[in-house]
Amino acid sequence: MLLICGDDEAHKAMEDDGSFVASCHAWADEMQQRGGLVSIGGLQPPGDATTVRVRAGQVLLSDGPFAETKELIAGFSLIECADLDEALEVTAKHPAARYGAIEIRPLVPT
């Protein structure tokens, strides 16, 4: 799982980059041709989040993000790679890596 992360400055830079969306589509097309793209998606801003907790049998809801932070998760890409080296290679090509950070996390085997 690639977690696309950044702060407000990175988000603004991506918006100002007129080729960013096209670059993301090109990256996704390459991953699909390689047979490694499972799913991608962007996320609404943290202000649109609802956080759910269950404590003592009670469901507690709060508006906004779980934690106050300057960085946010803006989206994700679920990819299949042979190993970490391949994941690093394709992640370095992702356009969002030029502006923010991309965290690579292996899924827990089921």
Q: What is the pLDDT along the chain (110 residues), one digit of tens a residue?
A: 999 999 888 888 988 999 999 999 999 999 999 999 999 998 888 888 888 899 999 999 988 766 666 778 889 999 999 999 999 999 999 999 999 999 999 999 88
Is there a domain that residue 110 lies in? no
Sign of the alpha-carbon dihedral angle for 12, 15, 18, 21: positive
Query: What is the pTM for the complete model shown?
Result: 0.84
**CATH code, domain carrying 86:** 3.30.70.1060
Domain membership of residue 8 as a residue range: 2-104
Host H or E run for residue 62: strand 58-63
Is there a domain that residue 109 lies in? no
Is there a domain that residue 36 lies in? yes
Is there a domain that residue 9 lies in? yes
pLDDT at 68: 67
Structural domain count of the chain? 1
What's the rounded Cα separation, in Å, for the pair 39 and 80? 10
